[in-house]
Amino acid sequence: MTSSLGSVGLAVRAASAFRGGLIMLGVVVLVATTALTAWPRFANTLLTSDLQYGLDQAQPVNRDLVTVVKSGMGQPGGIIVDDPGAAWKAMPGALDAVRRGMTAPLRQVTEKGQYSAASEELPTTPPAGASSDGHYFATVEAYQQLRSVATLDAGAWPDKATVATLSTAPMQPVPDPAAQQTGIVVTETGPPVNAQVVMTTATAKLVGWTIGQTRILGESRLTLVGTVTPRDPAADFWNLDTVRASGSFADLGDAGKKYSGVVWVAADSWPTVARSLPGTVTEGWFPVEPSAFSVDGLDAVSGALGRFLATTPTATIGGVPTALRFSTQLDRSLAEYTVRAQPAATLFAILAAGPLGVALAVLVLGVRLVLGRRRDALALMAARGASPSRLRWGLAAEGAAVSIPAAALGLVAALLLTPRGGPAGLSVALAVCCAVAPPLILAVAAGALGPRDDLRGERSARRRWGWVLEVLAVGLAVAGVVTLFQRGTAAPSQDAGLGIDPLLAVTPILIALAACVLVLRLYPLPLGWLAALLRKRRGAVAAIGSTTAVRSRAGGLWPVFALVTGVSITVFSAAVLSTERAGIEGGAHAAVGADLSVSTPVAFTDDQLDRLRSVPGVAHSAIVYSAGGLDVRAGTQGGDLSGYLVDPKELAAVEGNVPESARVSTALRASVPGRTAAVIGGWSPKIPVTSAILYTDTTVHLGVTAFSFTPGVYIRDAEWTIIDKTGLPSAITLTQRPSTVLVALRPGADASAVHAALASVAGPGSVIGDAVEQQSVLRKAPLVSGLETVALVSIALSALMCIGALLLTLVMNTASRTRLVATLRTIGFTGRQTAGLLGWELGPVLAVGLIAGILVGLALPAVVLTPIDLTGFTGGPVRPAVVIDPVLIAGAAVGFAVVTAAATLIALAGARRRSPATVLRAGGEE
């Protein structure tokens, strides 16, 4: 019966007898595949969400593809045509033709073209009882889809306009300051019209126009027949021109007060209405859909957009070929996102390197477990004549039988966990690697199988090559660190794309591997000294345990590598978390300018300033004075900037929580001696600007520091300057209107209570900047909130894989450990003494590995985070400094120590379950 059992049958029987080990290997592959294949999809989902969030937050006027066609005498550079409504008639076909000419990537992220037509802002008659200094203006507009974006609040929708049969009495136009500056002169118009119009309820209230009332615009009569409300205030139509929804009010000082609004006529009336207007603007746009973007298609969309903007499609309007020049800030937004997200892709790869490295160690340990348990069966098959190649193929087949189904299940689980992860190509490739790795490692690690080989051979060869591999590992780690420091902290460019920096991604693994080599080579030295010392003391546990630990090294490289890698990435992840949280807090304070700020559209009275300073919880305050428009120039740069005056000493007292590099007070104190210090923003000079001239009653030379961000919510204009008021010449006279108060809170003060008190003192219309609320706003960005999730997942996976590595290491030594426990109990060792010896089995290596992992983890931020700009993860305006939180580090170390103790207790419990007599009898039979 036995003789008829061939090598194949013997292999099948041996594999069946050891199905427990193969099942364990399958579980390892399942967990590793799920983690590795889900990771890139999760990162892809996070980056895509952040891209969509950023585009959604952008204003449609900057995001959409917009073209404008001007016509009529009132438009500078406009096209003079016989039919002013020609652009309105031609625009639908022109937009359809342009969209058909788009390449597929751009067409997929844009919607069907829309268009509207409008007049200039023209004066109208005022409402009854209006003050003499009030000037009223209206923009007449037509929009084909108005009823789909607005809800009728009161009245009715307008009917078609008609040409007036009798001209109304001429009216004296109200001077328009903007028109006077441009020098536009309206010479003639077509016949006036009688038109019904609608406007938003908010605008009607602002300009005092009631339903049924008629106002005169030029010689046309506009009768308000209804008011509307936007269905979706966030829709592109309402945000392309914010005056549409709420109107506009401006206090022009001596020139009076200006009230403006938009009225809509029936869309089919526009060709008629347009003839009565001095000039028209027809606007066409392709709405951009943020939810259609993904990081996988980002390069294709960016390229298609660049080619689209580089071309100029033409349309025939009124018989005149007209260039449709499209403008957008979308290309700039995509470029800025690419620069911001590139560090994210690299950092995610670094955080993934920890679980990946530990998973590799676990996989190797699983393979070693299989080989160790199959040793006798393989030797028997070799003795019966099985060739080494057949044995290798048999091992590979056994491994593939469990790894392929496990990898397939892991891939399916990853796809289900990350449904929005984009293309699955990379995940499938990783799953294939996880499926192929076990049989490949089994075949290679089996050694030169032969009749006399019991899988313990080749040790001399391994020792010969071991030194070479160890030196190579340490050398690669040193080379990686040196290269990173030599390369410096250059910011990523748009050309770098979203690719991962391979050097940054692999350096942590190389450092961990080098640390493992050093641990395994150096730790026997102090341990041998300790063993010699313990042999002189009474008691056998410490002496036997330390001597055994020196000789065994508890499994060699892979368990130590798993521990060092897992602990180091955990500590590194904790450093990333603490750095991000500190960066969010600092970024929020930099955006506000202090803990709190309160601003008014007019000016604070002296009484209000005193009351603001005396609010309970306020430690320090600084006043920001609005100086209106200031003429500041640096060569060809500059012009009319919004000016603010501050006292640097007061400002420094409230900027304690603002990052040093974002403090205005620091920049003002660093000015060139002999010049008035100033900070400017909103410029984009090709070369750094360090000096400028302020033109007022006299010229003032400024020592300038340029900021790339706005250092306070009180600054609303695109171009601005903050000037040291204490450094201005006494002869100069500038407007100094106290418009903002910056506040630093006392320790322990309730920020929300102080917020409410400041708002109460400032009164209606005030704007409160709150750093605590700003932190909540910053955390809404997916990239900001997602980094915490990624770091925590990295910690959890590393810990899980480390537990697996420790358990596999203990399982590999189960037989010898069980025999040792049985022998010790037979000769009289107590359970406590037995537990002590088991503690010596892994204790020294694990203790040293834990310490090495912590040291590597503390070193990684200095090596890895230095070249990575975490600004995109914090949402703040300046690069955050690396922060090491000792509480988080201690928590990570304690957590791994608890895991180690739990694994040792499990091993002891398993060893003590078997009877000593049974174990010793089985050993004797062997």
Rounded Cα gap, residues 600 and 610, in angstroms:
15
Look at residue 170 in the predicted model and tell me its pLDDT: 44
- The Cα–Cα gap between 68 and 71 comes to 10
* Cβ atoms of 397 and 15 closer than 8 Å: no
| Strongest mean pLDDT among 234-238, 383-387, 704-708, 778-782 | 234-238
43-47, 135-139, 800-804: range with lowest mean pLDDT = 800-804
Split at pLDDT 50, 70, 90, the class of 641 is confident
Confidence band for 684, pLDDT divided at 50, 70 and 90: low
Task: Count CB atoms within 10 A of the CB of residue 153.
Answer: 14
Determine the average pLDDT of the residues in 822-849: 72
**Which of 537-546, 629-638, 718-727, 756-765 shows the lowest mean pLDDT across its residues?**
537-546
Distance CA 163, CA 848 (A): 93
Q: Calculate the alpha carbon distances from 604 to 610, 628, 739, 751, 858 in Å.
A: 10, 15, 6, 22, 50
- The predicted model gives 741-750 an average pLDDT of 92
pLDDT of residue 517: 83
Beta strand spans in 157-256 (E): 162-163, 193-200, 214-217, 220-230, 248-251
pLDDT for 221 equals: 92
Q: For residues 730 and 294, give the distance between their C-alpha atoms in angstroms, rounded to a whole number.
A: 57
Residue 761: other Cβ atoms inside 10 A: 19
3-state secondary structure of 745: strand
Q: Please report which confidence band the pLDDT of residue 488 belongs to, taking 50, 70 and 90 as the band edges.
A: low
**Sorting pLDDT into bands at 50, 70 and 90, what band is 487?**
low
- Calculate the average pLDDT of the chain: 80
Rounded to whole angstroms, the Cα distance separating 73 from 190 reads: 12
Q: What pLDDT, on the 0 to 100 scale, is given for residue 139?
A: 94
Higher pLDDT, 906 or 888: 888
Per-residue burial over 302-334, b if 16 or more Cβ lie within 10 Å, else e, is bebbeebeeeebebebbeeebebebebebeebb
DSSP element (H, E) containing 410: helix 388-417
Instruction: Quickly state the pLDDT bin for 168 (edges 50, 70, 90).
Output: very low
Note the pLDDT of residue 96: 93
What is the pLDDT, as a whole number, of residue 51? Answer: 92
User: How many angstroms separate the Cα of 97 from the Cα of each of 113, 115, 328?
Assistant: 10, 14, 19
Q: Measure Cα distances from 856 to 514, 519, 529, 885 in Å.
A: 10, 12, 25, 15
Out of 9-13, 364-368, 755-759, 794-798, which region has the weakest mean confidence (pLDDT)? Answer: 9-13
Of residues 367 and 18, more confidently modeled: 367
Report the candidate in 561, 572, 574, 479 with the shortest Cα–Cα distance to residue 520.
561
Percent of all residues in the chain with a pLDDT value above 70, rounded to a whole number:
79
Confidence of residue 464 (pLDDT cuts 50, 70, 90): low
> CA nearest 523: which of 125, 845, 87, 913?
845
pLDDT given at position 376: 66
Q: What is the mean pLDDT of the segment spanning 484-493?
A: 60
- Report the pLDDT value the prediction gives residue 143, as an integer from 0 to 100: 95
84: closest CA among 158, 186, 160?
A: 186
Other CB atoms within 10 A of residue 124 CB: 25
Contact 229, 201 (CB under 8 A): yes
**Of residues 721 and 370, more confidently modeled:** 721
Q: Quick one: pLDDT at residue 8?
A: 52
- The answer on pLDDT for 624 being more than 70 is yes
Q: Are 543 and 537 in contact (CB under 8 A)?
A: yes
Cα separation, 251 vs 235, in Å, equals 29
The confidence score (pLDDT) of residue 610 equals: 93
The candidate with the shortest Cα–Cα distance to 655, out of 725, 784, 742, is 742
| Residue 771 confidence (pLDDT) above 70 | yes
In the predicted model, is pLDDT for residue 3 greater than 50? no
10 Å CB burial of residue 235 (0-12, 13-18, 19+) is: middle
Mean pLDDT of all residues in 609-626: 92
Q: CB-based burial of residue 43 (10 Å sphere; 0-12 exposed, 13-18 middle, 19+ buried)?
A: buried
pLDDT, position 518 = 83
Each residue of 246-269: pLDDT tens digit? 888 876 666 778 899 999 999 999
CA dist 24 to 392, 603, 903, Å? Answer: 20, 74, 16
Give the separation between CA 901 and CA 907, rounded to whole angstroms. Answer: 10
